[in-house]
Chain A
Amino acid sequence: MNDFTRSILLFTVLIATVACASWPLGRYMAWSMDPKVCGPRRQRLESFMERLAGRAGRAGQSWKGYALAMLCCNSILFAIGWLVLAFQAELPWNPDHKGALEPSLIFHTIASFVTNTNAQHYSGEVSLSPGAQLGALMWLQFLSAGTGIAALAAVARGLAGRLDMGNFFMDLQRATFLVLLPGALVLAALFVLGGLPMTMSGSANAITLEGVSQGIARGPVAAFVAIKQLGTNGGGYFGANSTHPFENPNFWTNVISMLAILIIPMSSVWMFGRIVQRMNHAKAIYLVMLLLLLGKIGCALWFESQPARAFEGLAGVEQVSRNLEGKELGFGTSGLSGPLWAALTTATSNGSVGAMHDSLNPLTGLVAMVGMWLNATYGGVGVGMINMLLYIVIAVFIAGMMVGRTPEYLNRRIEAREIKLAILATIAHGSITLLGTAIFSATAWGREATSNWGPHGFSQILYEFTSASANNGSGFEGLADNTVPWNIATGVAMLLNRYVPIVVPLAIASSLAAKRPTGQTGGTLSVQDSTFVVILVATILIVGALTFFPAAALGPLAEHFM
């Protein structure tokens, strides 16, 4: 069995495992977020959370109320996080006496963690104390993921035809306490068993063989990494993220990490299906996401099974293996930690890295970027499904006309307002990526930050903005991005592309809910048959390709054909 077939086999087992697990978890998530009937136990939990939320948690909210509550809540989280990072030197639990961060870096870091992006222009073990890691970043990984799940629950309620979209404060608690916290506890325990450190003490001191004294950074890593993977956050405890031996020491932690990356985004689709009570529609969506994900994984594994593109044509270099540069070879050469992880982490808006993305072959790097450009092939927790809804609205609008009716989705007519909103969110995602890349590739801010010449340098800039816009957080690395312009520009990109694609679907769902429902007949467009799957896949690919093809041509494609 060669490496390629072995990796195919491994990823098949892996995907099949998560897919099976996603069904019961999706059911559990629907029960947590939107129970149809509350049993006595569920009712006790509910009243406990109602007491916690106080008066703000009792009333149902319209889409505006819900969006406002979310934005206010997230602003407060932003402020608290900022204060903790700004005053980490004065705050307790700073065994290694880390100093204050530069303001633009604080802005970037907090924007990054509030928006579930978790791009890191700092290196955890160098810049932050355990107190700051836990006090500013770790709980944001919970709440930002919770915000995503809450938003999806609200959008689903609207699409089910309910004018009362729920209550954000209640939803956030449900997502955090009932879904993320138990999941993270289990996962962290597994990680501790797998050998990840879990300690509150500072760096360990070691005397090397040469007799030099060396500080080895450690901390509450297992807890941090658990929610990092589960909540599609991706912000590692260490700068090297999941390539650091304390975050991902062995084969099993590697496999568990990859399972954890996928599980909640996949389950979100089932949760959506259960809340809108259209499981067949959810199955079609799930299939579309799965097909695109498998396509990306397949491409990544194939492209990366080729010799390193960068070494080709170099005098005196003869390549006999696949591209092994930048990968953890401790887990074997099957490509599990490299291309597979890269495809998964970019398809799900996770952003943790298991290999150096900069070292991937150009086309594998392109696959990673495609994952973020589409950003809905499972996507981030909750928000991946929400992004998919934007594609669905556009697909259903065009296909709906082709069956000779005014387009409708889930028995509600799609009219000017819904299209206006959907196209607005779609434009926001593409244009922020492209404009950001344009500004930085035209100026010294970008041109002097790249560590590579030509198309690869362009890819570095493009990747950074792609990652920020997709709220992914992974980096192509090699880019000198911890500068004021980079921190501010990508920070703003993250904020815009987090909240626009959440608020807009809330508005769409509420506007649909207010309409007179239409009947389902043989003359209406089906959203659960194979034709719908084809249409949706085609829409996603065409919208993505039309927006990003020129940029891809000047970056990875040019590099590949060079």
Chain B
Amino acid sequence: MTHPASRRFDPALVRQAVLDAFGKLRPRTMIRNPVMFVVFVGCILTSGLFLRSLVVASDEQPAFIFAVSAWLWFTVLFANFAEAMAEGRGKAQAVALRRTRATTMAKRLAAPQRGAKVEPIDSTDLRVGDFVLVETGDTIPGDGEVVEGVASVNEAAVTGESAPVIRESGGDRSAVTGGTLVISDWVIVRISSNPGETFLDRMISLVEGAERQKTPNEIALSILLSGLTLVFLIVTATLLPYSSFAVDQAGRGAVISMTVLVALLVCLIPTTIGGLLSAIGIAGMDRMIQANVIATSGRAVEAAGDVDVLLLDKTGTITLGNRQATSFVPAPGVTEAELASAAQLASLADETPEGRSIVVLAKERHRLYARDLHDLQGKFVPFSANSRMSGVDIGEERIRKGAVDAMQSWLQSQGGRLPAGVREVAEQVAKQGGTPLVVASGSRALGVIALKDVVKGGIRERFRELRAMGIKTVMITGDNPLTAAAVAAEAGVDDFLAEATPEAKLALIRKYQAGGRLVAMTGDGTNDAPALAQADVAVAMNAGTQAAKEAANLVDLDSNPTKLIETVQIGKQLLMTRGALTTFSLSNDLAKYFAIIPATFAGLYAEPGRKGPLAALDVMQLHSPNSAILSAVIFNALIIIALIPLALRGVSYRPGSAASVLRRNLLIYGLGGVVVPFAGIKLIDLSLVALRLV
């Protein structure tokens, strides 16, 4: 599955969404959104009034009723269109996913052994606990755990990444996903999910939004919006007796008409946020998918925004993942070039990242271009757990490099000793968070190579942003406290957990949670599962084990630990978009009141031939009562369309403290929400007049 560049308004998608917008006009679908359902009822009512006005003469022109009714229908359709647009993208992805899920034949084994009897079976008939054999060229028939064998698997169907990955029994690389392809060797897989419940199935239903359940915050907001709708229903309904009282008192004038009441109601109820609410939720989920993170529920996306402690693995997230040689410190009486040369020779055949970095550093610092070990007729001495050093023998010269204590015993065995100066340097390197390697030639210690974890560029700034957002970063590492403290200081994390064990991680999460914090973490191994289950937001690496994936509520298909930070931002952006549009929607009502109330009651208590007292409230100086009401209704409908891109994209998000983010959003969506409709309604009124429509 590949993600095309962000073309939000792909013509094919738009066409489909337009059709879906009409399809969603079913009352059963509409009632799921109470705010828009009220508009829907208003549409039907005004349509009826229009038909009636064609037959029975009334005070209102049929054209006016028709215009109001038509724009109310547009309001509903626009809201449906927003939802359909948001769903459209997921649907397209679901279609691609479904293709890979096509039924395959599986080779069920009678027993989990290579030689056991093979029985061909339809993949949809597999059940939890079945064992299947998957060989080169076969599609893995369902989610499961490798129990025997090793194979390279193409998981592009799920991750979009075509480079094959190794799956083998035991360890942290044993989980396989149904629908992925074995491209070499064979494995025996124990099926761990029934058909219809696999990871792929879950992904399909999630991206499709078919089983989309409202998240807790969305439910709470819907209740608030329904409550406000009820308030406005009462406000508009009571206007009828109020205006009849006034007409009775004045002895002339007309009671407010049903068309105007419906128009007023629709303008007042929060249709902007009501119409875009589900689109915002789906789009938030979609943004997660764009980031190649699959949320097991919408709730997880929301919770991601609430996180205030991030547990980050040092390796891969904070540091580049490998120690790199950063300097050569020669022993007394040795030149740096001599040390570098020996160090490079000792590392020429060392294919570890550390070894390679030593070769490169020597090249950079001392222009020592890699020599060929064969030409020198050297003999490589590989690292062994026993000797804990590696090196090279060139003729009589025996060059070795290794940890301090290992080298000390080597030197002693060669009749030499480790000079105090070299030991001090080594200790200093360790204190600064580096790893010292001592280099010796025969019985002579040449000096120390300092290896260091290299912190990723820009990560410090990233953590500063997170701190401003009120999020605490904690580095998790297996290093000793000394090394950990040095890396932590360099990276700018708030805290660290050194010599971390799964138990220590779990205890740390519990400690933060007891203090009222919400904790997020990433993990991949089976031993991470308890901590993942305990964390409030847990991102499992897709490359990880089945146990880790089950325990997590987000799965990162790219298996990139830095993704955690992005995940938090997506969650925050989702909530922010909801809040901003709610504020905007409610602030809009002020202008709508000032458009509709004076228009409706301008004639009330008026002397014949003059305007009534309430005309004084017509601050926008709109053309006529009808154009005022129509302008408000049109504005109300168009604003939904205008805000669809914002709903799908999310409000722009600049990391900062809660106070600064709030001030910014208040200014844009609160104050903007008050001002924009005044201008918008006036503009629409002017256009209606210019087009001679009123």
| A binding-site residues for B, Cβ under 8 Å | 394, 397-407, 411, 414-416, 418-420, 423-424, 426-427, 430-431, 434-435, 437-439, 441-442, 446-447, 453-455, 457-458, 516-526, 529, 531, 534-535, 538, 542, 545-547, 549-551, 553-554, 557-562
**Residues on the A chain within 8 Å of B245, using CB:** 441-442, 446-447, 458, 554
Q: Cβ of B516: which chain A residues have Cβ within 8 Å of it?
A: 411, 516-520
Cross-chain contact B246 with A454 (CB below 8 angstroms): yes
Secondary structure of the A contact surface, majority rule:
helix
- Contacts of B402 on A, CB cut-off 8 Å? none
Stretch of B48-56, B231-239, B376-384 that contacts chain A: B231-239
CB-defined A-B contacts under 8 Å, sample of 17: A401-B578, A402-B665, A406-B306, A406-B575, A423-B224, A427-B231, A438-B238, A439-B241, A447-B245, A455-B613, A458-B245, A519-B518, A521-B471, A522-B658, A525-B658, A535-B666, A550-B236
The answer to whether A553 and B601 touch across the interface, beta carbons within 8 angstroms, is yes
In the assembled complex, the Cα of A414 lies from the Cα of B223 at a distance in Å of 12
CA A266 – CA B117 in complex, angstroms? Answer: 85
Q: Which residues of B contact A (CB under 8 A)?
A: 216-217, 219-221, 223-224, 227-228, 230-232, 234-246, 248-250, 268, 302-303, 305-306, 308, 467-472, 515-518, 571-573, 575-576, 578-580, 582-583, 586-587, 589-590, 593, 597, 601, 604-605, 612-617, 653, 657-659, 661-663, 665-666, 669-670
Verify B227–A424 contact, CB threshold 8 A.
yes
Cβ of A32 to closest chain B Cβ, rounded Å: 31
Cross-chain contact B601 with A558 (CB below 8 angstroms): yes
Q: Are A401 and B657 in contact (CB under 8 A)?
A: no
Residues of B within 8 A of A419 (CB): 220-221, 223-224, 227
B666–A562 contact, CB under 8 A? no
B604 and A546 within 8 A (CB): no
Beta-carbon nearest neighbor of A431 in chain B: B234
- Cβ-neighbour of A524 out of B242, B246, B658 (below 8 A): B658
- CA–CA, A31 and B442, complex, Å: 83
CB of B191 to closest CB in A, whole Å: 37
Q: How far is the CA of A397 from the CA of B219 in the complex (A)?
A: 12
B239 and A550 form a contact (CB under 8 A): yes
A402 with B662: CB separation less than 8 A: yes
Q: Is the CB of A401 within 8 A of B614?
A: no
Contact of B216 among A398, A416, A423 (CB under 8 A): A416
A524 to chain B, nearest CB (A): 6
From the candidates A415, A553, A561, name the one contacting B220 in the complex (CB within 8 A).
Answer: A415
Flag if A434 contacts B662 (CB, 8 Å): no
Q: How far is the CB of B671 from chain A (nearest CB, A)?
A: 10
Verify A542–B586 contact, CB threshold 8 A.
yes
A554 touches B242 (CB 8 A): yes
A523-B310 Cα distance, complex, nearest whole Å: 13
Closest chain B residue to A560 by CB distance? B613
B224 contacts A554, C-beta separation under 8 Å = no
Measured between beta carbons, the chain A residues less than 8 angstroms from B237 are: 438
Q: A402 near B576 (CB under 8 angstroms)?
A: yes
Q: Given that A457-B249, A522-B469, A558-B601 are known contacts, is A402 also in contact with B517, CB under 8 Å in the complex?
A: no
Task: Among A423, A453, A522, A535, find the residue whose CB has the most chain B CB atoms closer than 10 A.
Answer: A522
- Give the CA-CA distance A142 to B517 in the complex, in Å: 45
Contact B666 A437 (CB under 8 A): no
A243 to B472, CA, bound (A): 62
Smallest beta-carbon distance A532→chain B, Å: 9
Give Cα A118–Cα B666 distance, bound, in whole angstroms.
Answer: 41
Are the C-beta atoms of B597 and A553 separated by less than 8 Å? yes
In the complex, chain B residues whose CB is within 8 Å of the CB of A453: 249
Give the one of B249, B586, B657 with max A CB within 10 A.
Answer: B249
* Contact among A523, A550, A559 for B657, CB-based, below 8 A: A523
Question: A522 and B661: CB pair below 8 A?
Answer: no
- Which residues of B are found within 8 Å of A397, using beta-carbon distances? 220-221, 224
Residue of B232, B472, B614 most packed against chain A (CB within 10 A): B614
Nearest residue (CB) in B for A520 is B516
Q: Within 8 Å CB of A402, what residues of B?
A: 576, 579-580, 583, 661-662, 665-666, 669
Could you tell me the distance between the alpha carbons of A521 and B307 in the complex, rounded to whole angstroms?
11
Contact: B250 with A546, CB < 8 Å?
no
* Contact flag A442-B605 (CB < 8 Å), given A420-B223, A523-B308, A534-B666: no
> Residue B614 contacts which of A400, A525, A561 (CB distance < 8 angstroms)?
A561
B614 in contact with A553 (CB, 8 Å): yes
Bound: A559/B249 CA distance, A: 13
Q: Closest approach, in angstroms, between the C-beta of B46 and any C-beta of chain A?
A: 20
A residues within 8 A CB of B669? 402
Q: Which residues of A sit under 8 angstroms from B576, Cβ to Cβ?
A: 401-404
A458 to chain B, nearest CB (A): 6
Q: How far is the CA of A394 from the CA of B223 in the complex (A)?
A: 11
Question: Which residue of B has the minimal Cβ distance to A393?
Answer: B224
Closest to B239 in A: A550
What is the bound-complex CA distance between A419 and B228, given in angstroms? 11
Whether the Cβ atoms of B241 and A405 lie closer than 8 Å is no
Q: How far is the CA of A404 from the CA of B240 in the complex (A)?
A: 41
**A458 near B246: Cβ-Cβ < 8 Å:** yes
Closest B residue to A553 using CB positions? B597
Candidate in B217, B593, B612, B670 with the most chain A CB atoms within 10 angstroms: B217
Interface centre among B231, B239, B467, B572 (most CB of A within 10 A): B231
Contact of B470 among A437, A441, A524, A557 (CB under 8 A): A524
Output the least CB separation between A550 and chain B (Å). 5
Q: B241, A441: Cβ atoms under 8 Å?
A: yes
Closest to B302 in A: A406
Is there an interface contact between B614 and A558, defined as CB atoms closer than 8 Å? yes
| B246 near A427: Cβ-Cβ < 8 Å | no
State which of B471, B579, B590 has its C-beta within 8 Å of the C-beta of A542: B590
Given contacts A542-B590, A562-B613, contact A434 B249 (CB under 8 A): no
**A531, B231: Cβ atoms under 8 Å?**
no
Q: By the criterion CB–CB under 8 Å, are A403 and B661 in contact?
A: yes
Bound Cα distance from A557 to B248, whole angstroms: 18
What residue of chain A has the Cβ atom nearest to residue B214's Cβ? Answer: A416
B511 to chain A, nearest CB (A): 12
Supplied contacts A404-B661, A420-B223, A554-B243, 4 more A-B pairs, CB within 8 Å: A402-B583, A404-B573, A521-B517, A546-B235
Q: Is the CB of B662 within 8 A of A423?
A: no
Question: How many Å lie between the Cα of A55 and that of B422 in the bound state?
Answer: 82
For B614, the chain A residues whose CB sits under 8 A away are 553-554, 557-558, 561
Pick the residue among A414, A435, A446, A455 that contacts B238 (CB under 8 A). Answer: A435
**Contact (Cβ within 8 A) B223 A404:** no
Q: Quick one: which of A401, A431, A447, A535 contacts B221, CB cutoff 8 A?
A: A401
A391 to B: closest C-beta gap in Å: 13
| Residue with the highest number of chain B CB atoms closer than 10 Å, among A400, A561, A562 | A561
Name the CB-closest residue of A to B246: A554
CA A310 to CA B302, docked complex, whole Å: 58
